[in-house]
Structure 1
Amino acid sequence: MTGAVDLSVLKERADAARNRPATPQAPRPPAGNDGAGTVAAVPAVVEVTEATFEAEVIARSDQVLVLVDLWATWCEPCKQLSPLLERLAEEASGQWILATIDIDANPRIAQAFGVQSVPTVVAIAQGQPVAAFQGVQPAAQITAWVDEILAKVGDRLTGLPAADGAEAPDPVDPRMAEAESKLDEGDFDGALAAYQALAQAEPGNVEAASAARNIEFVIRAQAADPSVVDTAAPDDIEGQFAAADVLLLNQRPDDAFDRLIALVRATSGDDRSAVRTRLLSLFELFDPSEPFVVSARRKLASALY
């Protein structure tokens, strides 16, 4: 696949997926067990904020079960439960980790979890909440609760990276692997449908949404008659859209963007809004720091205002 949109990364991921074992890697044994190797590099207890939530909780939960301790400084029961959870996390030796979150300092996280009272503890695996409890619980009950969760989801987690810097391989989402396989085989329609379904099911899946946008553009651009670049009338909006697609597919982003910016200047009302929307959607196909995107955005702003 060639053209303005570089999908080589997706192809490389598909190639890598084929070379990985068919079954996911088992979690690393706790430190101290036979064959355990070095101690995990990730701390047993991590203080998490809204800025670090994605990396420390969502991404980390692909490797290991993450217990999220939602607490507040004014909460007396929290002062009993949080130290207990921290001790249990240290004793777990990497089987699970604890992410502590002050709900007053991070209200959007509390809102996302629908927290009604604290303390609330939520278990996260593979980016999804799998169990929760509220209030203070005895250590034995918490341990049994965690063991039950690990029995159900533990074999799907890749394990933490070792302290010596050796990284566990990224887990393969079978749905992404299927979509990438279709793309690698040249089944653009099938790949598009797979990525769109995944993006709809997981609104936060940026990779799937980006892949769907890219493939949708390539399919649309390849369907256009290349001669439209020369034959489209200046006031033919759909024709100019197709011409811009062809130019972009042929590695001429400056010409594509300039054509639509000229159309913005020549239109008004709903037509101008439609052209602006199409232009912004084409910007999304590229890194926003690309010089030609930065330049085109400035020209668009000048044309609009």
Structure 2
Amino acid sequence: MADFSRPGSLYGAIDLGARKQALEAQARREAAGPQAASASVADVTEETFTTDVIDRSMTVPVILDLWSPRSPGSAQLSPALETVVGELAGRAVLAKVNVDTSPQIAQALRVQAVPTVLAIFQGQAVTGFQQVLPEEEIRRWLDELMGAVEQFYQANPDVRPPLEEGAEAPPEPAGDPDLLAAEQAIDEGDLDAAAAAYERLLARNPANEDAKMGLAGVGLIKRTMTADPADVQRRAEDPADIEAQLLSADLEMLAGQVDEAFARLVAVVKRTSGDERDQVRKHLIGLFDALPPEDPSLAKARRALASALF
């Protein structure tokens, strides 16, 4: 389970209205040249952290790469981060911190292992991960973050900063009116209205992937919005507490720990039977809807579920 706190609506939005933005971001990546990468990277020290990370994060998201030359994982992850962040053409920046030469930063952020990646926005760590990910998974994580940032600015237009030189403007809203209504309802914190809009769209077009993912994401947030992650983590130590296992998986999904969430529930399916097994199976299938159908985690999880069932 993630150790990062959830600072309000921005964190919860990561798995919702980012779907359309993610597709548009992919088109922008294809148009962006490799020269964009170097302009978006900065080496940060304890002396420059406030200026290069905290202050900068009030304008654009700062992707903080906490690395060490002693870590083989850092050697794999850091170049991939530079590539992926560079593709955003200035809409996010990469700040690299060598934890060996700047240990106070690692201590302040309670970094327990390297590599660790944190997204800093509006002065807060809003999400992150602590493992080596391939470029495509980093892109998915970053696309969802940028979608959440755009939602934050749509809900708070008075704090949107002017574009930095060379940065691309986010896409203008377009698309199905019910999809737009759902995204507006999410911005306003009305999850019931968002769910109703997604359901209207699905009634007209049952195959609409945006609506499926959005509705699944709304369900995730509604189920977890009053949860205490520390209490859930404590309860989940009891493998017989099915509700805690389901809620833990929901929290892991919202933290971007998709594979961990799926593996947790597949393990519960293996050790349960009857109504409990069916409850967990249905919950897991519902979580599948929160991801695009081409997501590689889905194929792996479906195979694991089939093996657990049969």
TM, length-normalised to structure 1: 0.42
TM, length-normalised to structure 2: 0.42
Q: Which has the higher helix share?
A: 2
